[in-house]
Structure 1
């Protein structure tokens, strides 16, 4: 998702809607800007949804539309649909309508992760995305991942266009210090390794808030696969689920 602030082009798009169609060139301008406008509005709506999730509050369509901008009421269904997709795939949170007549929505934690202590800054989306990826990689690597595994994750992420502006927050420090402090991740030296090697494991907070099955189902949804197609991972996640019954 591209994150861009409201600009003069945004205003031009709104003004063009109000004035109606002009010359053929005038008509083409708002079309070319529509993706930029949509991304801008989605970027405004997602943090609001995350804040509501953290505060355990409901949100109404009216409130969302007010924050997006009443001028874009006709585009709101698309903005809302893509924001919900971002919340589901990127944050593991479902936006569910619980009162259709009142257009009232609840934020449901599909993964169970609370993100308490992480919300409130402009880098929250890539941070949440990275946390989910890290927990997934650790699980897929036999419940422990090496530093090399994490550097590979970072290399792939840094190639994504939407990540480039967020690299100022030092992802490696976020992984090895912030997530460790928040107890989502353990980061320690491999016993008896010489020269010293370090590895990552799920922290107590990750075990308390989510499960291997939830992480696997999330991965399968993103990859459009049946969780059972990851045979060994599914069997391990299922054993964990049965052990906690």
Structure 2
């Protein structure tokens, strides 16, 4: 049967009916996140009949992304697909009534395996439980080691493109894995203590927006972007909590963002810049790679920002080389901007 799509109206409901439909900013990857109450991890191992749909990465043109919708379904997994009109939905419905070919059946099986593995990995992260290879093998069924490696890599890549967490083996003797935040946010990317999904992807998107806005984004720019993700100031979000507190207080206090008043502005207006910890823990190139991966493209497809990121990389290498040659201590911020970028990124 064709999967039932959630409408935009669901985004206005409470946690058990949260949904979002993302639209792309002209120059920054935007992923909407949708979800319901947290699932139990055991339901994945048992085979939840309401399995999520497969992820379909959107293709891109140079310098921009096509609209993409990223969903965390009620089962806890990702559903990422290009926005389509009613015609494509009719096509989906008509195709579902056709007798599947062996090739189609194989593709559907692969999609199911990927979906269930994504759901399982996110659930384990949310519940702060170790991820065992044996449990992952139970999810995907009887397949070869090479097939399992391919499926695990694809599932982890799709999660990474949304949440900015990497699947890493933390205990090779017992084959134990964990999803690890790309930035050293507290609680492995959750920011707040307790269970929950990572905030790292949201922060990486904001850093990308600041970068692409000339290294300084207005508060209006930030909320215009976040509203496209159906993330609103003062409205509780099932992943991010109260977003304004997270962005203007928590991430500022953690020094990942700088939130400064525009001089002589009346009424007061504010800008966002990269904070010192963002500059220390990531780079423009890494942020661009994250944005490009989410848009199914490569950083060089965005030449203007790619060239700026390359210049920063070359400058950082040059500073490191000088330090190595002179024996200088690491007391200075090597990721600090060149004089041509006065906004501090």
TM-score tier by shorter-chain length is: 0.5 to 0.7
CA displacement at 1:183 relative to structure 2: 0.6
Does the C-alpha gap of structure 1 residues 96 and 50 become closer, same or farther in structure 2, counting only changes over 3 Å?
Answer: same
Aligned to 1:34: 51
Aligned residue for 1:177, secondary structure, equals helix
1:147 aligns with 2:147: no
- Is the counterpart of residue 227 in structure 1 residue 303 in structure 2? no
Residue number in structure 2 paired with 1:244: 316
| 1:94 pairs with 2:170 | no
Question: How many equivalent pairs are there?
Answer: 213
User: Given that residues 257 and 275 in structure 2 are in contact (C-alpha distance below 8 angstroms), is that contact kept between their aligned partners in structure 1?
Assistant: yes
Q: So what's the TM-score if we normalise by structure 1?
A: 0.67
Q: Per the alignment, in what secondary structure is the counterpart of residue 183 of structure 1?
A: coil
Counterparts of 2:192 and 2:128 in 1: how far apart (Å)? 11
What's the CA shift for 1:44?
A: 5.5
Task: Pick one of 236, 239, 252 that aligns with 1:180.
Answer: 252
Question: Deviation string for 1:45-102 (max 9, x for gaps)?
Answer: 326448889xxxx95413xx2xx896x5639969956752454112323325699996
Q: Could you tell me how far 1:139 is from its partner in structure 2?
A: 0.6
Q: Please, what TM-score do these two structures have when normalized by structure 2? A: 0.50
Aligned position for 1:113: 183
- Larger helix percent: 1
- On the 8 A contact 1:189/1:199 being kept in 2, the answer is yes
Partner in structure 2 of residue 26 of structure 1: none
Residues 1:169 and 2:241 aligned together: yes
Partner of 2:92: none
Q: Does 1:209 align with 2:281?
A: yes
Superposed displacement of residue 129, structure 1: 2.4
Task: Compare 34-43 and 219-228 and name the one that shifted more.
Answer: 34-43
Alpha-carbon distance in structure 1 between the residues aligned to 2:312 and 2:201: 24
127-136 or 34-43, which moves further after superposition? Answer: 34-43
| SS of corresponding position for 2:249 | helix
Contiguous gaps of at least 5 residues in structure 2: 1-33, 53-73, 78-115, 318-345
Structure-1 residue corresponding to 2:55: none
Where structure 1 has 5 or more consecutive residues not aligned to the other structure, the ranges are 18-29
Q: Does 1:45 align with 2:131?
A: no
Asked if the contact 2:204–2:290 (Cα under 8 Å) also holds between the matched residues in 1, the reply is no
Classify the secondary structure of the residue corresponding to 1:169.
coil
Q: Equivalents in 2 of 1:222, 1:99: separation in Å?
A: 28
Shift in Å, 1:218: 1.2
Deviation (angstroms), 1:195: 3.6
- The superposition leaves residues 182-211 of structure 1 with CA deviations (integer Å, 9 ceiling, x where unpaired) of 110000111233442210000000000000
Q: Secondary structure at the match of 1:166?
A: coil
2:142 and 2:209 mapped to 1: Cα distance? Answer: 37
**1:183-198, aligned counterparts within 5 Å?**
183-198=255-270
For residues 92 and 168 of structure 1, what CA distance do their matches in structure 2 show? Answer: 14
